Amino acid sequence: MTRPSLIQVIHRLEDLLEGLHLSRSYGGAIAYNYFGPPRLTQDVDVLVLVPDTRIPALVEALTTAGFVDGGDGSPIDLRIVLTELRAAVPSATSAAGASASMHRRI
């Protein structure tokens, strides 16, 4: 299987988030490259606004799409991430500071 390009990964992520009707914003080198001179990057930094009621759908979509943790590349059980997010962030209004680092297996 051919490794997808960064642009292909962004398009796949966009399709996933658009399908879930989730607001998002891109940052890091991807955003920088839009406004400034190109800078090499191999990751996508995206901030997604996820209401508590939509977290299970996002977890399911990411799992189905083959996202893995950022450490050793082994599959991650996103249901555990969901449980941890719920414990760390009791309501959608206090979501500041909660994050999960995920990478797509490519």
81-91 pLDDT, tens digit each:
667 767 776 55
Confidence at residue 96, expressed as pLDDT on a 0 to 100 scale? 42
Where exactly are the structural domains of the chain?
A: 6-104
Confidence of residue 106 (pLDDT cuts 50, 70, 90): very low
Confidence at residue 24, expressed as pLDDT on a 0 to 100 scale? 92
Q: Which residue has the higher pLDDT, 26 or 97?
A: 26
pTM of structure = 0.64
Tell me the pLDDT tens digit for each residue of 30-89.
888 878 888 787 778 888 888 888 888 888 888 788 776 555 656 566 667 667 767 776
Angle value at C-alpha 78, between 73 and 84, nearest 5 degrees: 115
Q: Distances in Å between the alpha carbon of 16 and those of 12, 26, 33, 62?
A: 6, 14, 23, 8
Confidence at residue 16, expressed as pLDDT on a 0 to 100 scale? 94
